[in-house]
């Protein structure tokens, strides 16, 4: 059964068993059923992640809640679990966060503004952009080695809070630059054109218009970057932030410790009581992070405008 | 008349040379300052390379390349010092591979679900959970690995050591999952609807469209996400410092105690090794190794998204 020029017809193929009849049937029912099964599996993958998160939170709260006493906030660390507290760690974390914010805000936002609003399209700009993208992927512990070589030893700052602040600023700088650029990009070009058409210089346009309208997004990114800084442990351990500090922090040149380092220290203790104390410390840390994230969401909803 | 004077004054205001010069000066100063801020990132990279190189060079004056790359034991803190890097690399790769076994399949499935199946409402409910998962400090994951995952592993496999690679790898996998999911989802999302519609028109089911059309179209983006995830796993510190142990050895058994490069740096930083000693310089040599490995992967990921990005209209 061939046509005149020798080709087989479609009809032909359907009837000839050796070409596999089933192959050309849509078989839709089975394929759809398979799709539903896989959809379930994919959903399960997300739910597994969420289940892990909930397990983690429940575990931390069950372990730590009984140890969440007032002494935890007022006492210095101690060899005795029932007398140990987070006082010096809390001071260190809050100081570190405030100073890092003061330093990284102008640096990060300034760099973001330059790249988004001023930079000419040339090789230098491309180099800076690639460099920022790459820095975002450098492990934080490498920044710790940088801080150790440059700030602790090079500038002779020792294991001081200031050395920690400088190191942490460099860690979160790429994050701030990226989020600032995104916030600036959300402002439509018409706003810029309107300002320039009225005779504003480029900087006046940025200062009085673009920056004002994108401040919500910029601040949100800033807070998220700081919440990363407050949970970051490795670079501070590397520059030598100590774990046992039994006096109040007096200034930026004092030695210091922070919450996650204190938690790490307690986790590493063999006694179970210290591990439960670590869980209590984690609750404090998570509460701090939650507050900051809530603030970020509130800011975003309040200051961000839609165009 | 009044109007014309008015206009005259304005004209004068804008023609004022002093004002214009001040504005130009301000413009130039601000531009220079902002450029400097942007260059801080370049200085950071240079600083990293300089610090690592300086100490690494000092290190290799005392230890030969052969000792570093050919020896199979790493014991710089013991009396009989040996400087073979491979046990640390082994530990690092073992944990990272384990983490990828968790993060890659789950992350990709999650991304497919989010991008191809979930309605806007479901996305809005699920997404924040993944974001929280990504925002939890790594020291918390370390605590979870040591106090929750390890006991479970030990009850299933009694030979499991208290500090082991597997529990760190599992915790790390869930830590990285949101990153894989979010980056892969971006890649899937960038595939235009016309491609999906074409596949539907040819009679494909939803799952077939997702896996046989959309995923292949987004493959370079997904691969870039995977590479970034590996790089992240290699550089991750606190989870392994808490849960994986401090015993550098050549093993593929995840239930044993190992040591990663990052955990070693932490161990020396916390210890009382004198800062001028050879043992102390090892952390910079190890840091250099770590930096080169992650840099290589980041660049590969960057080139992959650049080079093989499908451009749709």
Q: Do residue A289 and residue A163 come from a single domain?
A: yes
The runs of H, that is alpha helices, within chain B are 2-15, 17-62, 65-70, 86-112, 120-135, 138-144, 150-156, 165-189, 193-201, 206-208, 215-217, 219-235, 238-243, 261-270, 278-307
Domain match, A97 and A168 both: yes
Looking at residue A1, its pLDDT comes to 43
Residue A276 lies in a domain: yes
Name the percent of chain B lying above pLDDT 70.
93
Using alpha carbons only, what angle is made at residue B169 by residues B165 and B170, rounded to the nearest 5 degrees? 125
Judge whether A4 lies within some domain.
Answer: no
Residues A249 and A235 grouped into a single domain? yes
Give the least confident one: A22-36, A282-296, B112-126, B270-284: A22-36
Q: Which of B27, B140, B287 sits opposite A202 (nearest CB)?
A: B27
Q: To the nearest whole angstrom, how far is the Cα of A135 from the nearest Cα of chain B?
A: 7
| Cβ atoms within 10 Å, residue B74 | 28
Confidence at residue A101, expressed as pLDDT on a 0 to 100 scale = 95
User: Where is average pLDDT lowest: A89-93, A279-283, B13-17, B194-198?
Assistant: B13-17
Q: What CATH code would you report for B86-307?
A: 1.10.3720.10
Task: Say which of B207, B262, B270 has its CB closest to residue A35.
Answer: B207
The answer to the question of residue A221 being in a domain is yes
Burial B99-113 (b: 16+ CB within 10 A, else e): bbebbbebbbbbbbb
Domain co-membership, A114 together with A178: yes
Whether pLDDT at B43 is above 80: yes
Per CB-CB distance under 8 Å, the chain A contacts of B237 are 139-141, 233-234
Q: Mark residue A158 as left, alpha or beta (left: phi above 0; alpha: psi -120 to 50; beta: remaining).
A: left
The answer to whether A137 touches B228, Cβ cutoff 8 Å, is yes
Residue B3 has pLDDT above 50, yes or no: no
Has residue A6 been placed in a domain?
Answer: no
Rounded to the nearest integer, the mean pLDDT of chain A is 87
- Asked if ipTM goes beyond 0.85, one says yes
pLDDT at B311: 62
Q: Is the pLDDT of residue B5 over 80?
A: no
Q: Is A60 in the same domain as A182?
A: no
Q: What is the CATH number of the domain that holds A181?
A: 1.10.3720.10
**Nearest residue of chain B to residue A263 (CA atoms):** B139
Considering the entire predicted model, what is its pTM? 0.87
Q: How far is CA B3 from CA A71, A172, B6, B12, B267, in A?
A: 75, 55, 5, 14, 79
Lowest mean pLDDT among A69-78, A274-283, B141-150: A69-78
pLDDT reported for residue B130: 86
- Does residue A126 form part of some domain? yes
Cβ pair B208:A114 closer than 8 A: no
Going by pLDDT thresholds of 50, 70 and 90, the confidence category of residue B234 is very high
Asked if A143 lies within 8 A of B48 by C-beta distance, the reply is: yes
Confidence at B21, pLDDT banded by 50, 70, 90: confident
pLDDT (0 to 100) of residue A22: 56
CB-based contact B146 A293, cutoff 8 Å: no
Distance CA B25, CA B46 (A): 31
As a whole number of angstroms, the distance between CA A37 and CA B146 comes to: 35
Same domain assignment for residues A48 and A134: no
Containing structural domain, residue A35: 23-67
What digits encode the pLDDT tens for the residues B171-186?
999 999 999 999 999 8
Residues A228 and A148 in one domain: yes
A96 shares a domain with A39: no
Q: Hey, what are A80's tokens? A: 């005795």
**What average pLDDT does this structure show over B189-205?**
91
Q: Which of B126, B275, B294 sits opposite A138 (nearest CB)?
A: B294
Residue A209, in any domain of the structure: yes
Question: Is residue A7 situated within a structural domain?
Answer: no
A124 and A161 belong to one structural domain: yes
Find residue B83's DSSP bridge partners.
B74
* A-to-B residue pairs, Cβ atoms closer than 8 angstroms: 264
Nearest to B113 among A46, A145, A146 (CB): A46
A34 and A164, same domain (yes or no) = no
pLDDT of residue B4: 45
Q: What is the pLDDT of residues A235-270, one digit of tens each?
A: 999 998 877 888 888 888 888 999 999 999 999 888
Contacts with A233 from chain B: Cβ below 8 Å: 137-139, 237-238
Report pLDDT for B15: 58
Residue B12 has pLDDT above 70, yes or no: no
> Is there a single domain that holds both residue A278 and residue A158?
yes
- Residue A116 clears pLDDT 80, i.e. is over it: yes
In a domain, A16, yes or no: no
User: How do residues B251-268 score in pLDDT, each as one tens digit?
Assistant: 999 999 999 999 999 999
Is the pLDDT at A19 greater than 80? The verdict is no
Do B283 and B269 touch, CB atoms closer than 8 A?
Answer: yes
The C-alpha angle with vertex B215 and arms to B214 and B220, in degrees rounded to 5, equals 115
User: Mean of the pLDDT values across residues A274-284?
Assistant: 93
Contact B35 A118 (CB under 8 A): yes
How many separate domains does chain A show? 2
Instruction: Measure in Å the smallest separation between the Cα of B115 and chain A Cα atoms.
Output: 11
């Amino acid at each position: 059964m061939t046509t005149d020029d020798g080709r087989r017809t479609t009809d032909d193929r359907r009837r000839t068993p050796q070409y596999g009849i089933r192959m050309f049937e849509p078989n839709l029912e089975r394929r759809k059923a398979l799709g539903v099964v896989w959809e379930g599996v994919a959903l399960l993958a997300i739910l597994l992640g969420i289940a892990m998160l909930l397990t983690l939170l429940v575990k931390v709260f069950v372990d730590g809640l009984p140890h969440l006493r007032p002494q935890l906030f007022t006492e210095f660390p101690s060899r005795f679990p029932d007398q140990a507290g987070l006082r010096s760690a809390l001071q260190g974390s809050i100081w570190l966060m405030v100073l890092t914010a003061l330093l990284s805000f102008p640096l990060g936002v300034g760099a973001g503004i330059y790249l988004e609003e001023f930079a000419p399209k040339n090789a230098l700009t491309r180099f800076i952009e690639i460099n920022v993208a790459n820095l975002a992927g450098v492990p934080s512990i490498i920044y710790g080695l940088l801080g150790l070589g440059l700030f602790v030893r090079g500038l002779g700052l020792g294991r001081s809070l200031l050395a920690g602040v400088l190191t942490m600023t460099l860690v979160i700088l790429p994050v701030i630059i990226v989020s600032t650029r995104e916030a600036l990009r959300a402002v439509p070009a018409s706003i810029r054109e309107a300002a320039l058409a009225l005779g504003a210089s480029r900087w006046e346009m940025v200062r009085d218009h673009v920056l004002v309208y994108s401040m919500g997004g910029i601040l949100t990114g800033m807070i998220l970057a700081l919440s990363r800084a407050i949970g970051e442990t490795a670079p501070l351990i590397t520059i030598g932030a100590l774990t046992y500090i039994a006096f109040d922090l007096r200034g930026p040149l004092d030695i210091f410790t922070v919450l996650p380092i204190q938690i790490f220290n307690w986790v590493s203790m063999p006694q179970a009581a210290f591990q439960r104390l670590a869980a209590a410390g984690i609750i404090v840390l998570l509460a701090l992070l939650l507050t900051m994230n809530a603030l970020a969401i509130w800011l975003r909803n309040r200051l961000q405008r839609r165009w | 008349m009044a109007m014309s004077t008015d206009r005259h004054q304005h004209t004068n205001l804008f023609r004022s040379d002093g004002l214009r010069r001040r504005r130009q000066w301000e413009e130039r100063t601000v531009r220079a300052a902002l450029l400097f801020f942007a260059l801080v990132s370049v200085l950071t990279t240079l600083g990293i390379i300089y610090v690592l190189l300086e100490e690494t060079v000092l290190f290799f004056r005392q230890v030969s390349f052969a000792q570093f790359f050919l020896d199979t034991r790493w014991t710089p803190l013991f009396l009989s010092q040996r400087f073979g890097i491979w046990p640390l690399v082994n530990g690092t790769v073992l944990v990272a591979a384990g983490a990828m076994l968790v993060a890659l399949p789950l992350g990709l499935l999650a991304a497919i679900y989010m991008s191809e199946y979930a309605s806007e409402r479901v996305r809005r409910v699920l997404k924040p959970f993944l974001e929280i998962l990504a925002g939890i400090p790594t020291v918390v994951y370390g605590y979870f690995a040591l106090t929750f995952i390890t006991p479970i592993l030990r009850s299933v496999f009694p030979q499991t050591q208290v500090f082991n690679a597997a529990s760190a790898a599992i915790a790390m996998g869930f830590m990285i999952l949101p990153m894989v999911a979010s980056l892969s989802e971006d890649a899937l999302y960038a595939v235009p609807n016309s491609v999906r519609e074409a596949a539907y028109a040819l009679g494909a089911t939803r799952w077939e469209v997702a896996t046989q059309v959309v995923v292949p179209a987004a493959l370079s983006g997904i691969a870039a996400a995977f590479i970034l995830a590996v790089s992240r796993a290699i550089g991750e510190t606190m989870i392994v410092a808490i849960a994986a142990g401090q015993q550098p050895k050549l093993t593929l058994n995840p239930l044993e105690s190992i040591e990663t490069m990052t955990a070693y740096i932490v161990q020396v930083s916390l210890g009382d090794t004198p800062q001028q000693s050879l043992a102390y310089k090892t952390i910079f040599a190890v840091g250099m190794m770590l930096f080169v490995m992650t840099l290589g992967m980041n660049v590969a990921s960057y080139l992959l998204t650049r080079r093989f990005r499908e451009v749709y209209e």
